[in-house]
Structure 1
Amino acid sequence: MKLFQKYHSKFFVIAIFFCCSVSIANAQNDTSRRQTIEITSSYKPALRNSVKINLYASPITADTARPRLAYNIPPQNLFFAYQPVSLKPLALDADTTLQLGDRNQLKVGFGSFATPYVSGAFSFGDGKKNLLNVYGNYISSRGNIKNQDFSEMNVRGDGSIFTPKSEIYAHAAFAQHEYYQYGYNHALDSFAKADIRRSYHDLSAGIGFRNIAVNDLNFIYDPHMELHAFSRGGKATETTLLLNLPVEKKFSDAVSLKVTAKGNFDKYQIKNSTQQVTNNLVELTPEFVYYGDRFTFHGGITPAWNNNDVNILPNIYAEAQLQKNVLVVQAGWIGNYIANSFRTLSAENPYMQDPADFNNTKQTQYYGGVKATVGNHFSFNARAAFITYNNMPLFINDSLDGKSFYIKDERRIDNLQIHGDMNFINQDKFTLTGGLDLNTYTGLLDNAKAWGLFPLKVTGSLRWNAFKQVLIKGDLAAFSGAKALLSNGSQKNLKGGTDISAGAEFKINKQFSAWLDFDNLLNSKYERWSNYPVYGLQVIGGILIHF
């Protein structure tokens, strides 16, 4: 019994192992039976939602400030005939490269009154780093009246050197103008040609420096100087130094401060005379400038030193747009000096005597007017002004034979002036311009009349590209007669004149063009100066070469 209990547990384990072995062997031998295990669970895995932070921004405050859009787009009619208009977009630097090819031209011709004509223009340089332009012309004529001859020759060169931010420019010029005092009674008097010859020579040079890009301090400057050596056939000489020093400080697009200093220094001497005449004029013009969208204001004063005389002149003027880009009202109170010299006065009247002294003319005016643009092509300007001149030079016939003029200054002249001008421009196809000046000279203290000054003057110009190869042009100058004081002391009202010129240019090919001009079509023998009738109808033509 004890033995059975001892091996009972071992026997039980062996029996279970034997039964499992038989079952596994039968399962391996029976391949047709397949056992599966199914697991059933109610657990379903799931991801928990992450915690999200919600931001609730406060709304932005609305900007109610009105933006200042100071963009002035020029209308189509602002292509003025007397100067080019450059368009410079803010996002694009101006390209100064010259168009290669037709950079030079030569114009030659011949006409009535034995008139040869030559002019030329030549350009050198790339236009980016350096540029040189050379101009020249010559013309002479012989009239029907004895000694009614003249000739003009002009040569000038302008050069520039460019850097990224500035430009250095200079020029040199020579001019020779020759006239003869033919305004005498040819039945009574006779003069040798050398005795009535008026030959003027002007040798000049100048240099300047300006910035072409805005610097860090927002300064704009352009100082330049010019020197003239002027003479009349070795009989009288004059040297003139001109200084112009403008600078502008821009505080913003609308506000700036301008200061300009000007100097005119003359030394004049007649041959075989120990007396030397000096004529110095210095002006300083500070002004405050405001550029608004519809209002522009310039305010300042002009201290001036005219030799030993010191004056404070006004410099106040403004413009207001009543209708933007259509109607502008303008008004001002301004004063300045006109520098008189042998060079400037002889250019106005070449038949004058050699002066003994000079006085500069002070000019003060009050003016008001309107400017308007009508449509895309037409604009006009009308202005009324009350002007006072002090020390105005007047030209009077000499008392011997009347062929020359001497200068007599008028201490005061009042002038109520009406000025108007208009232009109709259709791009570069058609241009019509006109101007009118009506003057009423009163209040004279030293002279009975304003000798030699025009009461009325009308001017006009026409340029029409009628066809692709044809240019038609015309010019008008009409004026009422001035008052003249003759050699015998009597007064004379000069007849008015109308001078109409017309011409055409025909382009033969890319290099050659033919041109023809008619001057004084009405054959009017008017007198700009007493005893000096002009040429009549004159015809001149020739050829123009581009290369």
Structure 2
Amino acid sequence: MTTKLNTLKLYTIAALIVANLPAFAQDTLRTDWVDVVKAFKPILSESMKIQSNPNPEIPETQTPVFSYEVPEKRMDGQPTLYTIKPLSLGTSLLPKLKNNYTKIGYGNYNAPLFETYLNTTRNKNVQAGLFVKHLSFNPNGDRQFSNNTVYGFGKRFLGSGILSADALYYRNVVNLYGYNTLADVGPNNNIKQKFQTIEGKVGYQNILKDTSKLSYKLDGGFYNFSDNRDVTENDFKLYGTFGKRINGNPIDIKTGVNISNLKFGNTEYNRVFVDINPRYKLNMDQLYINLGFNSTFFNDSTGTTFYFFPIAEAGINLIKNSLTTYVGITGNLQRNTYRSIANENPFVRSAGFRNTENSFEMYGGLKGIISPQTSFLLNASLANVKNLLFYVGDSANLNSQKVVFDTKSSSVFNVKAELNHEFGNQFLLGFVMNYYSYSISIKAPYSMPTFTTQLNLGYNMSDKFLWKASVLTMNKRESGIEVAPNTINATTLKGFVDLNLGLDYRYTKNISLFVNLNNLTNNQYERWVNLPVYGFNVMGGLTVSF
């Protein structure tokens, strides 16, 4: 029975397998499949939510009850006062000024030097100072000279102004060593030239608290200038400068009188100058204009003459605060005195006295700054001048110097260039160049150069070594020697380079040592005809400040 059942199961399974075999065959011709396309609608089933109702408890609060007692204590009612010390600048912010110094030195050519300067300490009411100097060179031969200076000043600061006074004594002695040494010149005093100046000045200047008010400065002065050849010059001046602003632009007027008296032997020459010189300056954004005139009433033994010179200058700022171009016209009457001539050329023994008239001068140029430490100037001018002053040798007076005037109208063309650089207190540079061209009626511009340069340098090395140097150059000059009245033999003065070097060594804050080397090229050139300068010379010494 069991065998029959198993056989029946096998037959049944085999029949099922055979019936399903067509399902595994590939049939590409079936058409009973249907594709249904419609929009998808997502359906979320209902979520099961947990029912929760919060029931927070309300806290119970109770106001605290404090119970305490403040002990009773009686305070002392007597006040205690403290004095507060006021603040002040203190002396530490105002260090002691070492305005006083003394310098002592010595050099070759038997050259002693003494110099001292004394000044008052800080004082809001008074300032005063005194300067004394002696310098002399005493080489072998006749080229000795001596300079002595005593100068004092004082100022009184008032509530409304400043009262000032100055006094000067100056003595200069030179020898006329340009003479022919083979000639008999007599006693030694014949070649000695002595000049002496005694001068005093007083002045008063008001202090303005309101710049719209009138400002003024009054000055009076007198000097006596004399030599050892019975020539004396007395000069008195009284001047005032008044200023006021009109619509923000300044107007100034300088006026005064100058009386000059010259005595030589039994001859006396008097001159009177009365000046009126107004100025008005108009300032605009990029433009400025200066207007005015110089005028002088001149009186001497020949009569009275009135001189009038227009003044005008206009400038435009090409680059604001950096570059300015300007043009202008000017003129003036230059007083030639015995003192001014002898200060320029101390070997002058005879001099005529004419005023140099700069009747009309045109000028123009550029000025500005290259950097905050560097500035420059370029200027060209053409002047029409009468009574130009020159110097020649005087063979009749030991080959001293004599003044020659070009009494006719002359013209002078000048080109000037300047460069200045200052780097704090560490480095200084100054350079000046001048070129001159003369159109004159006399044969030559005697003793005057046509090209000069001057260079000054200073270097501060760590406030310990202070270096300084200067270089002066001058081209050759045409000069002459007067051998007879109105007869001048021409001569030529060579060009030169004068190089100087100096060093100050600060040993301490109060003591320093110095050495100066002058004319390093040892070039004994002639600045004036037949009068060579000293060759190389060295001077050293000590400076004490206190």
Q: Does the pair score TM above 0.5?
A: yes
Residue number among 109, 113, 137 corresponding to 1:113 in the alignment: 109
- What are the residue-to-residue correspondences of 1:14-413 with 2, within 5 Å? 100-144=96-140, 146-215=141-210, 218-233=213-228, 235-253=230-248, 255-271=249-265, 273=266, 275-307=267-299, 308-355=304-351, 357-363=352-358, 364-400=360-396, 403-411=399-407, 412-413=409-410
Cα 1:149–1:216 change in 2 (3 A) is: closer
Structure 1 residue 292, shift from structure 2 partner:
3.1
Distance 1:126 1:314, change over 3 A: same
The answer on whether the counterparts of 2:97 and 2:121 sit within 8 Å (CA) in structure 1 is: no
The number of equivalent residue pairs is 444
Runs (4+) of structure 1 moved beyond 3 Å? Answer: 188-191, 214-217
Q: Which SS does the other structure have where 2:476 is aligned?
A: coil
- Cα deviation code 1:288-325 (max 9, x no counterpart): 21133432221012221232221210111122211011
Task: Output the amino acid matched with 2:414.
Answer: Q
3-state SS in 2 of match to 1:151: strand
Deviation of 1:427 after TM superposition, in Å, equals 1.2
* Aligned match of 2:476: 481
Contact 2:307 2:333 in 1 (8 A): no
2:258 alignment partner AA: N
1:18 matched residue in structure 2 = none
- Of 127-136 and 215-224, more deviation after overlay is shown by 215-224
Q: Which amino acid aligns with 1:403?
A: N
Q: Is the 8 A contact 1:441 1:450 kept in 2?
A: yes
3-state secondary structure, aligned to 2:159:
coil
1:418 maps to 2:410: no
3-state SS of paired residue (2:122): coil
**In the alignment, residue 267 of structure 1 is paired with which amino acid?**
N
How far does residue 419 in structure 1 lie from its aligned partner after superposition? 0.4
Q: Alpha-carbon deviation of 1:125?
A: 4.8
5+ residue gaps, structure 1: 1-96
1:528 CA drift (Å): 0.7
Indicate the structure (1 or 2) with the bigger Cα radius of gyration.
2
Q: Distance in 1 between matches of 2:171 and 2:95?
A: 32
* Counterpart residue identity of residue 314, structure 1: P
Q: Which residue is 2:512 aligned to?
A: 513
Deviations 1:255-281 (A, max 9, x none): 12211114322101013x1x2101222
Q: SS at the partner of 1:240?
A: strand
Q: How many percent of aligned residue pairs carry the same amino acid?
A: 22
CA distance in 2, matches of 1:125, 1:296: 42
Q: For residues 99 and 222 of structure 1, what CA distance do their matches in structure 2 show?
A: 33
Per residue, is there more strand in 1 or in 2? Answer: 2
Aligned partner letter, 1:202: T
Partner of 2:87: none
* 2:201–2:221 CA contact under 8 A, matched in 1: yes
Distance 1:339 1:545 in 2: 41
In the alignment, residue 299 of structure 1 is paired with which amino acid? Answer: L
CA-based RMSD of the aligned residues comes to: 1.8
Partners of 2:196 and 2:160 in 1: CA distance: 37
Distance 1:243 1:315 in 2: 23
Change (3 A) 1:150 1:249: same
Q: Partner amino acid for 2:473? A: A
Distance 2:456 2:386 in 1: 33
Paired with 1:501 and 1:478, the residues of 2 have a C-alpha distance of 12
CA contact (8 A) 1:159 1:171 kept: yes
Between the aligned partners of 1:203 and 1:114, the Cα distance in structure 2 is: 28
SS in structure 1 of the partner of residue 453 of structure 2: strand
Decide whether aligned partners of structure 1 residues 451 and 436 sit closer, same or farther in structure 2, where only a CA change above 3 A counts: same
Paired with 2:94 and 2:179, the residues of 1 have a C-alpha distance of 52
Q: Note if 1:460 corresponds to 2:455.
A: yes
Q: Contact (CA 8 Å) 1:180, 1:193: kept in 2 or not?
A: no
**Which amino acid in 1 is paired with 2:314?**
A
Partners of 1:99 and 1:337 lie apart in 2 by: 48
Distance 2:443 2:94 in 1: 56
Cα deviation, residue 186, structure 1: 1.2
- Structure 2 counterpart of 1:236, one-letter code: V
SS at match of 1:344: helix
Structure 2: stretches of 5+ with no match in the other structure: 1-92
Q: For 1:315-343, what per-residue CA distance to the aligned partner results, in whole angstroms no more than 9, with x for missing partners?
A: 11122211011111121100112111111
Q: Which whole-Å CA distance do the structure 1 matches of 2:277 and 2:446 have between them?
A: 32
